[in-house]
Structure 1
Amino acid sequence: MNKSRVEAFTDAVLAIILTIMILEFKTPESMKLTAILHQVPYLISYAIGYLFIGVAWYNHHYMFAKTHFVTKKIYWANNLWLFSTSFLPVATAWVGENLRAQGPQIFYAICYAFWAFAYMLLSYLIAQVNAANGHEDVAQSIHSMLIYRFLSHWQTASLHVIATVVVLIFYPAIQLLLVAAEIIFIGARSNSDSDKLF
């Protein structure tokens, strides 16, 4: 399968997701500057969602730049990942209505867990297909990505789940801070060759 077609499709879907997220931002009825303060919770969740997609796109681009193959399994895993990402505008909008509300935060956590599973599956399949076809260097590059190591290491994944459950029970609003910290300190830390691929 032509990987540039899959990349173009992925870029288009992610662009639509980002557009939907900003369209959820409501223009205040009042002309006073203070009226925008009611939108601050959504702006916070939107900023984290935008960062989330931006970092995910960068890592996705890295994996697809490295891979020599896009098989049917990789194609469908990529579609699953896009499907999981498409829930982010709904989760972002609902959390933005009340950062302290437990229900929206639980939904956001479920969407995040679904996304992590889909991303892990996509990464695993790309590494597996390349290793099986004599491109062990590609598999090694993907396995060395910090986000891959974080998601595939059962101890860190377990700690993440425990921390998320505790936060959701006692301090739901902190969950977005945990997500932002993971994005910045894990997802955004890319391999050293990520800016030397082209």
Structure 2
Amino acid sequence: MEKGRLEAFTDGVIAVVITVMVLELKVPSEATWPSLLEEGSVFLSYILSFIYVGIYWNNHHHMLQLIKRINGKVMWANLFFLFCLSLFPFSTAWLNHAQPRPASVPTIFYGVTLLLTALSWELLARTLISANGGTTSDLRQALGSDRKTKASIAIEAVAVAFAFRYPIVSCVLFAAVAALWFVPDRRIEQKLGS
């Protein structure tokens, strides 16, 4: 099967996710700087979620550059990934509106959303590798042991555990994972250049 439709569909869903997230931002109650600053945590969580979605979009694009074909398993794995990603607007909005900020249960849900998305990403990568030659595929060779993904999953799992008592620590850990991925992953670009 051709990968073009999968890529186009994914781009469309990601665009909708970003649009819904930005629509959740509310205009400050007054036309003053203090009123805007009161919404600071809302903007920070939006920026964090936007960065996560952007990282996944960027890496999805790069990953598909190294594969030649997809199959039904890849399509279902990609759909599961998009389902997890589609939870970002809801989990971000709940994190923003719960009082006190950040509250434990919404932070746990936000963390589970991040964790599920990371796990679905790993599943998508494995199905793409399997559909394109297994251990000899260009994608497998480019990803190597994929320590970055494994470390991200571990940090997000720890962050979910911290959210039960220390939700602010969880938010810092979520930001740390985003920072880890914010620096572009050169493994795939190096493989494309070779």
Q: TM-score range by the shorter chain?
A: 0.7 to 0.9
Q: How does 1:151-166 map to 2 (within 5 A)?
A: 157=154, 160-165=156-161
* Pair 143,74 (structure 1): closer, same or farther in 2 beyond 3 Å: farther
Deviation at residue 193 of structure 1 after TM alignment: 4.5
Q: Deviations over 1:79-137 (max 9, x none)?
A: 110010000011111112243210110111111121122111001111122124x8533
Q: Is 1:180 the equivalent of 2:175?
A: yes
Give the gaps of 5 or more residues in structure 1: none
Deviation at residue 163 of structure 1 after TM alignment: 4.9
Does the residue aligned with 2:70 lie in a helix, a strand or coil?
coil
Q: Deviations over 1:149-186 (max 9, x none)?
A: 536xxxx73x6524531x21331022122111112214
Counterpart in 2 of 1:129? 131
| Total equivalences in the alignment | 191
Moved over 6 A (4+): none
TM-score by length of 1: 0.85
Give, in whole Å, the separation in 2 of the partners of 1:94 and 1:115: 17
TM-score by length of 2: 0.87
Tell whether the 8 Å contact from 1:147 to 1:187 is kept in structure 2 after alignment: no
Tell whether the 8 Å contact from 1:144 to 1:191 is kept in structure 2 after alignment: no
Counterpart in 2 of 1:96? 96
Deviation at residue 21 of structure 1 after TM alignment: 0.6
For 2:140, give the aligned amino acid: A
Give, in whole Å, the separation in 2 of the partners of 1:47 and 1:18: 11
> Cα RMSD (Å) of the superposition?
2.3
Q: How does 1:186-197 map to 2 (within 5 A)?
A: 186=181, 188-194=183-189, 197=192
Counterpart in 1 of 2:66? 66
Give, in whole Å, the separation in 2 of the partners of 1:145 and 1:162: 19
Identity of matched residues, %: 30
